[in-house]
Amino acid sequence: MKRIALLLVLCLTVCASAEKFKGLAPTPPMGWNSWNTFAMKIDENLVKETAEALIASGMRDAGYNYIVIDDGWEAMERDKQGNLVPDPNKFPGGMKALGDYLHSKGFKFGIHNCAGTKTCSGFPGGRGHEFQDAITYASWGVDYLKYDWCYHGTANAEETYRTMGNALYATGRPIVFSLCEWGSNKPWEWAQDIGHLWRTTGDITNCYDCQETYSLGWKYILKSQIGLEKYAGPDHWNDPDMLEVGNKGLTLAESRAHFSLWCIIAAPLMAGNDVRHMSNDVRDILTNKEVIAVDQDPLGKQGYQYMDHPGKQIWVKELSNGCWAVCFFNNSDEAVKLRINWANFPFLAGNYEIRDLWEKKNVGTTAKNFEGKVDPLDVILVKLTPVKKAEDSKK
């Protein structure tokens, strides 16, 4: 009876005043998600081993602080009171204990469910149980909810996600709300007051140039982000889906380019590889703090495609303190040579120091043309920092 009474109080509260928690995602969230590598083959031990690997690899300290358990954690039925319960074989210790463990290791606890009657893998969905489930998540110490869009029937997306957002807010526990609606109903136009990030496409898969029924290579996902930059900012981010960096199907160059461009477009950085068994090269991509800083820049602007020529895409991102990030992406099958005249970039003002973020070294200033070679499906990523004038340095 107490739980029913609490549900009624929560419903009445949000009907009077609905609002999302603010300030939870001033920069795009970073973390790890189980789906891309493990799908439903998840359990308590995997999550704990992943947490330890994120610590040992330096990823936690680089900013990957959310561990999100995706579809497949639930039992096939709710309990007699209608509550979600974890699969007792996969998660025998329960979700509260697992959340406590992750918090003790310096992580935040994320979980998945669905706005429909079932999740995409057929487990109990949240439709009709939004306030009840929100109380459950809060009691487990959940910090992040990824909410999918399978089995939604004729439901209105904005109304459905607003209901769940209201339910989370009513619990009083700050929970980042990730709308995984696949961009079907243009959530960038209406979700800013509901959630902290929203998917803009279908699922990513572990390739550059491929298209399947329900999944896309990152080439197509990147292209679909063009024009969406005006909708992103602190606490409201476009989400082009998780990272495939380090997964079989991508070369090292493709992984580096994928990561660079996701940072340029201020994407949430959710690693999707098996971090327990990754190469040093993959670790070095995922933990390059100078590249991550482009994604996490406090100005909170999403980058955009500035130029698209055969073999040479140029993507740019305005950064804080007058800086810019510029990514030269070779989307061809042959190496290309760059000869960049910075005078052709009208958004630049004055002279800038150029730092190559993958080579981790300064390479001159914009007073001279920039030259370089870019291998197929690889990038050169630079940060431009204004050169201080002598009179400025004396102030």
d(CA 379, CA 327): 7
Q: Which residue has the higher pLDDT, 95 or 1?
A: 95
- Across the range 45-70, mean pLDDT stands at 98
Please write down the HEC assignment for all residues of the chain: CHHHHHHHHHHHHHHHCCCCCCCCCCCCCEEEECHHHHCCCCCHHHHHHHHHHHHHCCHHHHCCCEEEECCCCECCCCCCCCCCCECCCCCCCCHHHHHHHHHHCCCEEEEEEECCCECCCCCECCCCCHHHHHHHHHHHCCCEEEEECCCCCCCCHHHHHHHHHHHHHHHCCCCEEEECCCCCCCHHHCCCCCCCEEECCCEECCCCCCECCCEECHHHHHHCCCCCHHHCECCEEEECCCCCCCCCCCCHHHHHHHHHHHHHCCCCEEECCCHHHCCHHHHHHHCCHHHHHHHCCCCCCCCEEEEEECCEEEEEEECHHHCEEEEEECCCCCCEEEEECHHHCCCCCCCEEEEECCCCEEEEECCCCEEEEECCCCEEEEEEEECCCHHHHCC
Looking at the DSSP assignment, which residues form a beta bridge with residue 376? none
- Across the range 223-250, mean pLDDT stands at 98
Q: What is the pLDDT of residue 7?
A: 47
- Across the range 81-86, mean pLDDT stands at 98
pLDDT at 29 over 50: yes
- Across the range 2-20, mean pLDDT stands at 51
- Across the range 67-87, mean pLDDT stands at 98
pLDDT at 9 over 80: no
Say if domain 304-393 classifies as CATH 2.60.40.1180. Answer: yes
Q: What is the pLDDT of residue 124?
A: 98
Mean pLDDT computed over every residue of the chain = 94
Q: What is the pLDDT of residue 213?
A: 79
Range(s) within the chain of domains with CATH label 3.20.20.70? 2-295
Percent of the chain whose predicted confidence (pLDDT) is above 90: 92
pLDDT at 26 over 50: yes
pLDDT at 269 over 70: yes
For the annotated catalytic residues, the residue numbers are 148, 203
- 2-295 — its CATH code? 3.20.20.70
Q: Which residue has the higher pLDDT, 230 or 17?
A: 230
Q: pLDDT band at residue 71, thresholds of 50, 70 and 90?
A: very high
Give the angle subtended at the CA of 263 by the CAs of 61 and 63, to the nearest 5°: 10
pTM of this structure: 0.94
pLDDT at 391 over 50: no
At 295, phi and psi to the nearest 5?
A: -65, -40
pLDDT at 2 over 70: no
Summarised one tens digit per residue, pLDDT across range 323-371 is 999 999 999 999 999 999 999 999 999 999 999 999 999 999 999 999 9
Summarised one tens digit per residue, pLDDT across range 87-143 is 999 999 999 999 999 999 999 999 999 999 999 999 999 999 999 999 999 999 999
Q: pLDDT band at residue 311, thresholds of 50, 70 and 90?
A: confident
pLDDT at 162 over 90: yes
Summarised one tens digit per residue, pLDDT across range 271-307 is 999 999 999 999 999 999 999 999 999 999 999 999 9
pLDDT at 258 over 80: yes
Q: What is the pLDDT of residue 389?
A: 67
Range(s) within the chain of domains with CATH label 2.60.40.1180? 304-393
